[in-house]
Chains A and B, each alone.
Chain A
Amino acid sequence: MIRAALLGLFLGLFGGVAAAVDANEPFDDPVLNERYQSLIREIRCPKCQNETIADSNAPIAADLRRQVHQRVAAGQTEEQIVEFLRSRYGDFVLYRPQVKPSTWALWAGPFVFLGIGALVFWRVLAGRASQPLDDDEAVPDEDAAT
C-alpha cells in the first residue's frame, strides 16, 4: 500500500511515461487502474532490449499485460502479481529490485554516499574555515554580489 503510494509519487517526478497502445480495457475503478498502470511500468519485457511491458510491442509483452490485467481484475494485490511473474521469469523482470541480502548494497548505497558526502563537506569546511581568507594572487572580482 505504502509502496504503491511511494511508487506513484516518485514515478511522478521524473519517470518517463511511455507505453504501447494497450488492447486491454481500462478499469472503471481508479484504484485498480492505478495498480494496473503502475505494475505494467515496473515489469520488464523478458525478450526485448530493456523495455517495460507497457512500452513494448512484442507479443510476449502483450501476453504479460493481459495476465496482469486479468489478475488485477481478479483482485490480486501488487505483491501477489509480482511474485507470480517473479517465480516464472526470475528477478530479471522486475525493474524495482527486491530488497534481499544481495541487494542491500544497492538500496543502501546512495544513502551511504550521502553520509560520506556530508562527512567530506564538514571535514573540508572545518579545514578551510581555519585558514586565512587572503589570497596570494588577487583576481578581478567579476562575480561580486552587491
Chain B
Amino acid sequence: MWRYAVPLVILGVLAAFFLRGLELRPGYIPSPLIGEQLPEFELPSLTDPAASVTADNLRGQVSLLNVWGTWCIECRHEHGFLVELAESGVPIYGLNWQDKREDALYWLSTLGNPYVASAFDPQGVLAVDLGVYAAPETFLIGRDGKILHKHISPLTPEVWRRDFLPLIAEECGSLPCPLVGPE
C-alpha cells in the first residue's frame, strides 16, 4: 500500500539534492595537485631565450607561480595587484601560456613586470603538467617545492588575505614571513 508514496519520496530526495546542487559550482575543477611536488620542468625564459627557468628556481623560498597570457582579459585585471605584491617583496614567477613572445614582452614593458622570471610555454607543456585550464591561475609554492594552493581567476587583495596569507603563515611559522630562506 505504501508503494504509492514511493514516487513522491523519490521526488523529495531529488529535490533535496537539487537544493544542495544550486550551491555548487559545476564547472569548477579542484586541483588534485595540492600537496604534491611542483613537477620538474625546463622552459626558456621569456625575457632571455638563452636562459631557462626550472623548478629549482622556485625552491628554497615561498613563491607564487602565476599563469598569464596577453590574450587573457582577466590577467590584465590582476596585473596591478601582482606588481604591488612584487614590490613588497613577494617572489612571483610567471608562466606565459599559449602566447607570442613579442606580445608578452610588450605587455610587460608597458604594464610593468612583477615577475622574477617568466617561463615561456607556447605549447602548454608545463601548463598541462600543472592541470592549468583557464588563465589567470596562481599557485602558491612552498619552500620545498610543494604546491600549497591554487587559485583560479584574478588574484585580488581579499583573496590574498583570505586564502594565501594563512597558508604562508603556516608554512613559515610566523608573519612576516622570511620569503627567502636558507637552502
Contacts and interface: CB of A to CB of B under 8 A. Distances in A.
Interface of A: 46-47, 49, 59-60, 63-64, 66-67, 86-90, 92-93
B140 to A, nearest CB: 17
Given A63-B123, A89-B131, A49 B29 contact: no
Interface stretch (B16-24, B30-38, B77-85, B164-172): B30-38
26 contacts: A46-B29, A46-B131, A46-B133, A46-B134, A47-B134, A59-B98, A60-B124, A60-B132, A63-B123, A63-B124, A63-B127, A63-B128, A64-B128, A86-B32, A87-B32, A88-B32, A88-B33, A88-B130, A89-B29, A89-B32, A89-B131, A90-B29, A90-B30, A90-B131, A92-B29, A93-B29
Dominant secondary structure of chain A at its interface with chain B:
helix
Please name the 7 residue pairs, one residue from A and one from B, whose CB atoms are nearest each other, closest first.
A63-B124, A46-B133, A88-B131, A47-B133, A90-B32, A92-B29, A89-B131
Nearest to B39: A88
Interface string B26-56: 0101111100000000000000000000000
Contacts of A66: 123-124
Nearest to A91: B32
Interface of B: 27, 29-33, 98, 123-124, 127-134
Contacts of B32: 86-90
A92 B33 CA distance: 14
B97 to A, nearest CB: 9
Contacts of B29: 46, 89-90, 92-93
